[in-house]
Structure 1
Amino acid sequence: MFEMFSYDFMRRAFIVGILVSIIVPLIGTFVVNKKNSMVGDALSHSSLAGVALGLIFGINPVIAAIFVCVIAAFGIEIIRKNFAKSSDLSTAIVMSSGIGLAAILSDFVPGAANFQSFMFGSIVAIPDIELYTVIIVSFIVIVTYVLLYKKLVYIIFDEDGARLSNINVGLINKIFTFLIAITVAIASRTVGALMVSSLMVIPVSCAIMVSHSFKRTVINSSLFGVLFTIIGINMSYYFQLKPGGSIVLTGLLVLIILMIVNKFRKNN
């Protein structure tokens, strides 16, 4: 197992993978409990459009993906206000727009292999600027989550009550909309844009099944994320598999096992 750490690219992969696997489920607890799980899909597809723009115009793809994801995230919020009775429409509209734009732009991308690495993840090909970007974004997400934790819990479970308590719900929602966007964008490089939402939802689903409080769910979701990533990267290294797919399928297998165990316990 420790043989892989003799390679610089594998050490980078573990650093980036673990950081991403902490913050994506962390954001996922907010998204899942707000009953907006599809937002990860919408933003991840939008991030592909950003990647394509970056590759076309010679801009770092991750930076371009962050920019487009932020626009898409706030676009969801703006559209949602116009469809108050069908709020999920905004997510579907942005996701469709992201897919369409990415499909068109992909024809103009020089070098299809580089674009595909963002679709399915390329954790072992992380340059310095992306490593530093992941570290900075992870720090911002974790610190913000800790500082706003109590208000965040209040908003998740009783948004109207939070407003009556003079909590600036609008501002906090905007902050987390921004955090979701930048988290999805950097995770696209690691696990792949097509699988980001899985890393956002599956660890949280596992955590919900073994936790008895929201606080424990938050902690356990990140722990599950780290576990899946460590196993997934090892599988990728030793069996020459796609890192993103290995991470997601590991999580799915654990979730299925937990569901079977829970079913067995209820029957007995």
Structure 2
Amino acid sequence: MDILDYAFMQRALLAAVLVGVIAPAVGIYLVQRRQALMGDGIGHVAMTGVGLGFLLNTSPVWMATAVSVLGAVLMELIRWYGKTRGDIALAMLFYGGMAGGVMFTSLAGGSTANLTSYLFGSLSTVSESDVTAIFLLAAFVLVVTLGLRRQLFAVSQDEEFARVTGLPVRALNLLTAVTAAVTVTVAMRVVGLLLVSALMVVPVAAAQQLTRSFAATFAVAVAIGVSVTIGGTVTSFYQDVPPGSTIVLLTIGAFIALTALAAPLARRRARALAAAQAAGDPAECAIPATRGPESTVGV
């Protein structure tokens, strides 16, 4: 394939695969916690980190990671203690992050055009140092999301029950927020800060249309994530279109296709259940006729 003859495309495809794996891996916990837009908020905060990277002449990826982790921790603290004013504090944090990114970029002598590749993704700007940073950060995300999957799932499903069983709920919530922040900075070179939330949430929502367990949802969501990131990256190379928007549109397309496929399957399951109930088959009757997004139980 001629696409692999270019070093920048080799780096872009490697970054795309890593992003396609870790974004849904974190997103499944955010969806279960009903915090689907958390990635979007972190993306706004990470803009300040990118601007600081320009200003201090350091790696924007690492600086954005540090700032977004701090922002994620603040978001969790606001969620715990903010009470009725929490939404206002979060809004100020998000908009302040955007304003800080623009301000620091301007002070560094650049223009808002310098932020474009970080806001919407850019294939040609993925450097070797970016790939190294993305690989290390992605490894951290995978260790957390796979190594602590049972604990994170328990907290995402029912915090009170998890607390009663002795799990460190607040520590796990903070770890989830930090992992989401790291994922946002990993994905910003491929998808962009303003679009990364879609890649964290939509593959999970698409997988839930067909799957009935947490493990299956996790696997299918990751498969969708890898497929759309590779597909979007290749399409952007040959068609000269923005990679971030291409990936997100492919992800939404996958959701629509799986939703259309799930409808007849759900009707078939309902008919099979009705037939089993009429025949008095207890094994078949135990299978639920319908399911919802929150029924992905069992790890």
TM-score by length of 2: 0.83
Quote the residue 1:155 is aligned against. Answer: 155
Quote the residue 2:279 is aligned against. Answer: none
Quote the residue 2:273 is aligned against. Answer: none
SS in 1 for 2:166: coil
Q: Deviations over 1:170-225 (max 9, x none)?
A: 22222222111111112112211110111111111111112111111111111100
One-letter identity of the residue aligned with 1:77: E
* Aligned partners of 1:12 and 1:124 also within 8 Å: no
One-letter identity of the residue aligned with 1:197: S
Q: Which runs of 5+ in 2 are unaligned?
A: 269-299
Quote the residue 2:167 is aligned against. Answer: 167
Alignment of 1:94-133 (within 5 A): 94-112=93-111, 113-133=113-133
C-alpha distance in 2 between matches for 1:133 and 1:174:
22
Quote the residue 2:221 is aligned against. Answer: 221
One-letter identity of the residue aligned with 2:44: H
2:19 is the alignment partner of 1:20: yes
Alignment of 1:167-246 (within 5 A): 167-246=167-246
One-letter identity of the residue aligned with 1:126: V
Quote the residue 1:75 is aligned against. Answer: 74
Give the CA deviation at 1:106: 4.0
C-alpha distance in 1 between matches for 2:49 and 2:170:
27
TM-score by length of 1: 0.92
Q: Deviations over 1:142-184 (max 9, x none)?
A: 1222221111121111221111111111222222221111111
C-alpha distance in 1 between matches for 2:108 and 2:256:
39
Q: Segments of 4+ in structure 1 off by > 6 A?
A: none
Quote the residue 2:52 is aligned against. Answer: 53
Determine what percentage of the aligned residue pairs are the same residue: 30
SS in 1 for 2:187: helix
C-alpha distance in 2 between matches for 1:86 and 1:257:
40
User: Which protein shows a greater Rg?
Assistant: 2
* Aligned partners of 2:45 and 2:71 also within 8 Å: yes
Q: Which runs of 5+ in 1 are unaligned?
A: none
2:285 is the alignment partner of 1:262: no
C-alpha distance in 2 between matches for 1:41 and 1:117:
17
What's the Cα RMSD here? Answer: 1.9
C-alpha distance in 2 between matches for 1:267 and 1:216:
20
C-alpha distance in 2 between matches for 1:210 and 1:90:
38
* Aligned partners of 1:23 and 1:183 also within 8 Å: yes
Quote the residue 2:3 is aligned against. Answer: 4
Give the CA deviation at 1:5: 0.7
One-letter identity of the residue aligned with 1:223: A
Give the CA deviation at 1:90: 5.1
* Aligned partners of 1:202 and 1:251 also within 8 Å: yes
Give the CA deviation at 1:99: 2.3
Between the two proteins, the alignment pairs up a number of residues equal to 267
Quote the residue 2:282 is aligned against. Answer: none
Quote the residue 1:248 is aligned against. Answer: 248
2:31 is the alignment partner of 1:32: yes
SS in 1 for 2:69: helix
